[in-house]
Chain A
Amino acid sequence: MRLPPFDYHAPHTLEELLTLLAQHGPAARVMGGGTDLLRALKTGKVCCEHLIGVKGVQELGGVEFDEIQGLRVGAHAVLADVERHPAVRARYPALAAALDTLATVQVRHKATVAGNLCNASPCADTATPLMAHGARLELVRPSGQREVRVEEFFRGPGRTLLEADEVVTCIRVPPPRARLRTHFSKFSPRSRVDIAMVNLTVAMVLDGDLVEHVELFLGTVAPTPMRALRTEAVLRGQRLDAERIRAAAAAAQAECRPITDMRATKEYKARLVHAMTQRALESLAVVR
């Protein structure tokens, strides 16, 4: 198991980065922390002839928050810095919770949120919390720029809608909605740092026990992290009581589309979705 040969480039500006990408096209890969990419190159899952590191591009770094714009996470901001940012802990606790369980300390010191999304594993732990907060990615290419919602960004396992000459410059997360309650939950066979067998994020606004607003995102149980619209419909505008919660859990179990793999059968994963949805809703119901 070894890294195949490639050329490594370390651009200092966004312009340089885009030029390199355009120059080398599909034979090039952009590298943030490299913890997924280098692993995939070693095992032969991925090949490329040119690796372009983004860490040298100053404007792609940083984690900032303000009450108007919300959170901006630069493309090469590492997971540890995002997780420790006071605004993330205070205002986006589901994201903080996901980051705390994502892999190990060593990986969190190097891996990036952007990389986690671009890697596009259906079990990406940052995906469902970001989706629950309506996060968007800013994408830039020589011909212009665009913003896409995280939900649209994923296209399939390992696939995003990123074009060959396009890069993520940052992730923008709007300021949280007033009275928004969120809950991130992850199930893994070993400790928290293990890869998720199922993960999910619920976001909800309650008026008393009336569900004013709800969004439920499930990870690992479909080709991409998915929104459970039918389950939401069971909850929206309803009273969040024990029976409603049970019904929502059953709906989520029916709505998810896991596959059987060497980690677990699809029936078991669906059962996990049921249990985790139920618990997530129960915990949100008691939060004051």
Chain B
Amino acid sequence: MRRALVHLTVNGDRYCVAVRSNTLLVELLRDHLRLTGTKVGCGTGDCGACTVFLNGRTVNSCLTLAVEADGGEITTIEGIASPAGELHPVQAAFIEHGATQCGFCTPGMVVSAVQLLRDEHRPSEECIRHAIAGNLCRCTGYTKIVEAIEAAAERSGP
């Protein structure tokens, strides 16, 4: 099986990683780069715990080959806060509003919320719930997650 060298930028840092053709992006991130914030909850693209930004759009990294990311830009949960450690409004709102319990869905959920707020400045509740329909949570019932996203949207300005 062929090996390939994948060149990619992750959270602003450039990497060159040797992978197999069948290496998944989530494996590249977690195993090769030791960025363990992105989680594997199902491996079949149903739970959203593996959500990352690929070239500016959220995808399930468990259904993305590492080779597909060649030449690309990835942002994981570790890259959402500023390099100086300043939290994104979504992250701050999650903390304040009690939107995390076990926290396993949180990285994917935060990334999806950040994507939403890039697309919609003042999403309605229905819009928020639709946008995170691909992120399963078993602890919170989604209520405080939705509240946190609403609060973050407001804080982010018009």
Chain A residues in contact with chain B, CB under 8 A? 1-8, 10, 34-35, 38-39, 42-43, 51, 53, 55, 80, 103-107, 109-110, 191-193
Contacts and interface: CB of A to CB of B under 8 A. Distances in A.
A53 B21 contact: no
Contacts of B70: 10
A104 B2 contact: no
B63 A104 contact: no
A116 to B, nearest CB: 14
Contacts of B2: 7-8
Contacts of B22: 2-6, 8
Interface stretch (B10-18, B53-61, B77-85, B99-107): B53-61
Given A1-B43, A38-B63, A106-B48, A7 B21 contact: yes
A103 B45 CA distance: 10
22 contacts: A1-B44, A2-B22, A5-B20, A5-B21, A6-B1, A6-B22, A8-B2, A8-B21, A8-B22, A8-B65, A34-B65, A38-B63, A53-B68, A106-B60, A106-B134, A107-B45, A107-B60, A107-B134, A109-B54, A110-B63, A191-B129, A193-B134
B41 to A, nearest CB: 13
Interface string B97-138: 000000000000000100110000000000001110110000
Given A51-B21, A105-B58, A105-B134, A42 B43 contact: yes
Contacts of A10: 67, 70
A106 B112 contact: yes
A186 B67 CA distance: 35
Contact of A103 (B20, B68, B134): B134
A20 to B, nearest CB: 13
Contacts of B134: 103-107, 193
Contacts of A105: 58, 112, 115-116, 131, 133-134
